[in-house]
Amino acid sequence: MNGQILQILVNIALGLLGGFTVILVGSEKWEDLRTFAAVKRYILGAIVGGLYFLLHSDYGFPNMLMAFVSGYTGTDVIDKLVERAQKKPETPQPPTP
């Protein structure tokens, strides 16, 4: 059981590191690392890294790398899905004669 908890924590940490890397690459100053959007990205990266542990097939280097990549890109996917869900559908305009 303790080994499985360690694996979960490693994947969560790697997802968090992936979220941190996105903010670090896109930041212009150190204060950008402490904004609400950055903290949201850190939390989502950790959650996605933890979810990846539940969905992967084996523990090892490729899956640990994928936990990092999931934390890096998974937050963008979640943001786009939420944005799409909040977007109101456009009503079609009648043709003009």
Span 36-73, pLDDT tens digits? 989 988 999 899 888 888 887 666 678 788 888 888 88
Q: Which residues contact 7 (CB under 8 A, 6 or more apart)?
A: 53, 59
Is residue 13 in some structural domain? yes
pLDDT the model gives residue 59? 66
Q: Does residue 44 form part of some domain?
A: yes
1: amino acid identity, one letter: M
Q: Is the pLDDT of residue 19 over 80?
A: yes
Which tokens belong to 29?
Answer: 């100053």
Token pair belonging to 94: 């009648």
Distance CA 55, CA 43 (A): 19
Residue 96 lies in a domain: no
Residue 41: which domain range? 2-77
Give a yes or no: residue 83 inside a domain. no
pLDDT over 80 (residue 21): yes
Predicted model pTM: 0.75
Q: Over range 79-91, report the average pLDDT.
A: 81
- The answer to the question of residue 21 being in a domain is yes
Mean pLDDT (the chain) is 84
Q: Which residue has the tokens 């997802």?
A: 15
Residue 35 lies in a domain: yes
Residue 19, in any domain of the structure: yes
Confidence check: pLDDT of 17 > 70 = yes
25 lies in a domain? Answer: yes
The answer, yes or no, to whether residue 95 has pLDDT greater than 70, is: yes
* Domains: count for the chain: 1
Compute the distance between CA of residue 10 and CA of residue 71 in angstroms, rounded to an integer: 12
